[in-house]
Structures are given as structure tokens and as C-alpha cells.
Amino acid sequence: MGRSGSASRRGRPDLVSAPLRVLTWMPPDMTEHVGAVEGVELIQIPPRGPLDDDLEGDVLLVGARSVPVMEQALRSGVRWIHIYGTGVDGFPIELLEDGQLLTCSRGASGVPIAEWVLATILAFEKQLQETLVSEPWDRRRAPGLGTLEGKTLGLVGLGGIGVALAERAQPFGMRVLALRRHPRPSEVPGVEVASDLSELLAEADHLVLAAPATAATHHLIGRDALAQVKPGVHFVNVARGTLVDDDALRDALDDGRVALASLDTTEPEPLPEGHWMYTHPGVRLTPHISWSMPLARDLIVDVFVRNLRHYMAGEPLEGLVDVEEGY
């Protein structure tokens, strides 16, 4: 078995002795910073096996999706598993044993995703795509453009992405109304917390999904929810495609209840050839790229590197996942 101490329910591990054995199948270019941490021994294992029967580890660094050796690696004595990514919806939580901690790099992509969302909001209000010209124009027919000033940004989720977006939307004069699992006050001054989803839907000019994918959020935005939105709403999804009922969204776009859907996530990814979202005039579709920025992958790894130091010092870990809630 591994040599790390037992983990408390609060995510505060016991002090551990070096070297700390970190098992991973992630490519070397993604893990070079990990091996440089003092007191850490990085052990590369093949994702498809075979693994030695006597393999021992303390920590397991994995990708967002399961691989054939996942269960065997989890039984190698590891007490802490970190997901190289900001979500856990692709990880087989049911394979975890009692006492094993699960973390992810939650919040590492908050800033670039928030910037992407603001770009879609500005493009919608200023009609950037619709007002491009390729020939002389009639000044008498100039369209009236919108503004962010005084508009309501409705956030479903107030985690790392939601906080980063709220902090950047408020200087534009936007009112920020957020819905969170527990209706406690926001950490961001000036952000209002909605009492329920219905309140948020009725008031949002720009409705942004930034919540985790769980059983409770599956098809959260379906026919009932879309029937309650403010007419002409701009809908943005940077969460997961499973949160949205695509058929219901298409109907809402066709009848004008939703003016535009800016989607960086879909289910599945990529969408099959010929899918209606590729050509619908009310959809702006990007290939799950909103997280991208210079050194984006380094930021994701940095969370794990910090956590390694926390773990060896017996300190609480960042990005701790509530396995009961699923995120």
C-alpha cells in the first residue's frame, strides 16, 4: 500500500513522508513541472496497461476521462486523486474507496472563460457580425446598437467562472444576478443572489450557464425553463452540453424567445456532421475553446503543484470535490 497518511473528510491529509509517489499516464510535456517538485517521485504508467501487480503510489494524476487501468491504479494505495481539468463529470466517482480524496483544477480557467463570455455579450449587443460591411452603406439605415449598461447578467453558477465573470461585467455597468446551490451571499460585492431559477430566468438579458454537470443539473434548461425566460434573451453555455435540452432550445430559438445562443459546449462533442446547430442562424458555436489562453495548461497544472505542497504539509487541498454532490 502507499505510504501517505489517511485523509480527513475535510480534505486535510496527514503529514506524509518523502518521496511522494505520483502515478500518472499524462504526457511528459504536461507533467514536467510535477516532477520538479522537491520530495516528489513521478512514475509514468501506461494508460492501457499492463500494470505491475505490486505497483504502489500515494497520489494519482489523471485526465478528465477514464482509461482501462483506472480501477487498478485506484487500488494501488493512492489516497488522493487529482483530475487534470476543471470538471469531474467524466471521472468514475463510483470507483473511489472510502477515504480517498478527489480534487480538480477548478477555477484555473475562470479568467479566459469569463473573457470569452463577455466577448459574446459585446458581440450580441453591438451586432458585430450583423453590421460588417463589404460595400458602400446607406447612413440613413444604420442599425441601433445595444449596450451592456443597465443590462442584467444572469449567472447559473457562482464558482470560479461565475466570480471571474461577475467581476468583469460590473465595470460595464451590468447588474449581476446569480443562482447558486446554497443561497448564501456572494463573495463579489454588488452581486445579487436569486431566490430560485425562475427569478433568474425572468430577469436575465444575458443568461449564462456556468454550473457543473451533475444528475441534478441534467437538462436544467429545458422546455419549462425556456418558457420562463425574458423574451429575446441571449443564452450562453460554457458549462456542459448535458445541462441543456437541445430540442427545447431549438424551439425557443425558432419562436424568438431566445434571440441568440452562444455555445462553447455541446452534447456530444463534437456534434455529428449535419447537426442543426452548425447552420442555425440563431446559434454561434465554438469548439469548446473558451478556456484557451497563453499558458492555459500551465495554470491547470499549477493547481496540482500547489496541492502537492499542501498535501505534503498536511494542509487543506484546493479544488476538493464533494463526491456526494458530484462536483
The domains spanning 20-107+295-312 and 110-285 adopt the same CATH topology: yes
Residue type, 276: W
Whether the CB-CB separation of 214 and 326 falls below 8 Å is answered with: yes
Annotated domain spans of the chain: 20-107+295-312, 110-285
The catalytic residue among 288, 297, 306, 310 is 288
pTM, entire model: 0.91
Counting Cα atoms < 13 Å in the Cβ hemisphere of 254 gives 9
Domain boundaries 110-285, CATH class: alpha beta
SS3 at position 103: strand
3-class SS at 62? strand
Instruction: Please enumerate in sequence order all residues whose Cβ is within 8 A of that of 255, keeping only pairs 6 or more positions apart, or say none.
Output: none
CB atoms within 10 A of CB 112: 19
Active-site residue, 184 included: no
Active-site residue, 240 included: yes
When the candidates are 3.30.1120.130, 3.40.50.720, 3.40.190.10, 2.30.130.10, the CATH number that belongs to 20-107+295-312 is 3.40.50.720
- For 177-182, the CB contacts below 8 A with 24+ separation are 177/152, 177/153, 177/203, 177/204, 178/154, 179/154, 179/155, 181/325
Per-residue pLDDT of the chain (327 residues; tens, 9 = 90+): 444 444 544 455 665 666 999 999 999 988 988 999 999 999 999 999 999 999 999 999 999 888 999 999 999 999 999 999 999 999 999 999 999 999 999 999 999 999 999 999 999 999 999 999 999 999 888 889 999 999 999 999 999 999 999 999 999 999 999 999 887 889 899 999 999 999 999 999 999 999 999 999 999 999 999 999 999 999 999 999 999 999 999 999 999 999 999 999 999 999 999 999 999 999 999 999 999 999 999 999 999 999 999 999 999 999 999 999 989
Catalytic residue among 71, 187, 269, 325: 269
149 is catalytic: no
Annotated catalytic residue within 21, 82, 234, 240: 240
